[in-house]
Amino acid sequence: MSFFHGKRLKITPRAARIYLFFALVLLAAPTILYKVLPSHAGKVLVAAGAMTGEPFEKTVIYMQFHHGYGARGLILNKPLRGDQRADLQKQFPLGRLFYYGGPVGTQEDITLLVPDKGADKGFRLIDANFLRAHDLAAYNQIVADEVLMRDVRIFSGYSGWTVMQLNRELYRGAWDVVPFADGYLEQASQTDIWYKALEKVLDEKKADLDAI
């Protein structure tokens, strides 16, 4: 029994079962959608013409994960400059490649892209703060290696989406999706990397048309 504007409301067992049913449906929806909708984890988002303005215009984003509960990725083609770069340089004195990963957790959430020929994509993504807190020796082994740090990308922040947000943006045509390629990690301008990814988008769309 509950109160509403000073009046008692009686919740019958049948109503309680209905409320419980819909609550369970809402909780299960992301998991169901995860099974039905394709995941773009490990692929690359390419900002389309519908994506204008900061921070995502002309971006190429590597997707770390994508499922019914949300998505997370790192912008590959926005090098950091100015004060943001200087602040990270103090934390990683041997670092050379500093990038803006996205608008979430900037200057707090630091991800290291460490080259690894044995990994599926040729690199490992490491949460710098987590590794430092839980395995300081392993963290120091990376950041104190002068040769390795020449090629380690250090990302400040990340790009994040809530439940189904990315799927809605994909439906509206804000993004195209292509497989990851090593060329997206070249040290070139933001626009050059974006054009390289757009060429792949056009190639795939042409292939789809030819297959019809």
Whole-number mean pLDDT of the chain?
Answer: 86
pLDDT tens readout for residues 158-190: 999 998 899 999 989 999 999 999 999 998 999
Q: Provide the CA 115 distance to its chain's centre, in angstroms.
A: 19
Tell me, what's the pLDDT at 206?
78
Decide if pLDDT at 4 tops 70.
Answer: no
**Confidence bin at 2 (pLDDT 50/70/90):** very low
pLDDT for res 204: 84
Distance between CA 9 and CA 161 in Å, rounded? Answer: 38
Statement: the pTM of the whole predicted model exceeds 0.85: no
- Report residue 30 as tokens: 């992301």
Burial environment of residue 178 by CB neighbours within 10 A (0 to 12, 13 to 18, 19 or more): buried
Q: What is the pLDDT of residue 36?
A: 56
Q: Are 42 and 136 in contact (CB under 8 A)?
A: no
Residue 118 has pLDDT above 80, yes or no: yes
The number of angstroms, rounded, from the C-alpha of 31 to the middle of its chain's C-alpha atoms is: 19
Average pLDDT over residues 147-152: 97
Q: Tell me the pLDDT tens digit for each residue of 16-52.
A: 666 565 555 444 445 555 555 678 999 999 999 778 8
Sheet holding 60-67, edge to edge: 159-161, 70-75, 60-67, 43-47, 175-179
pLDDT digits (tens, 9 = 90+) for 71-101: 999 999 999 999 999 999 999 999 999 999 9
What pLDDT, on the 0 to 100 scale, is given for residue 211? 63
pLDDT of residue 1: 46
According to DSSP, the residues that pair with 8 across neighbouring strands are 3
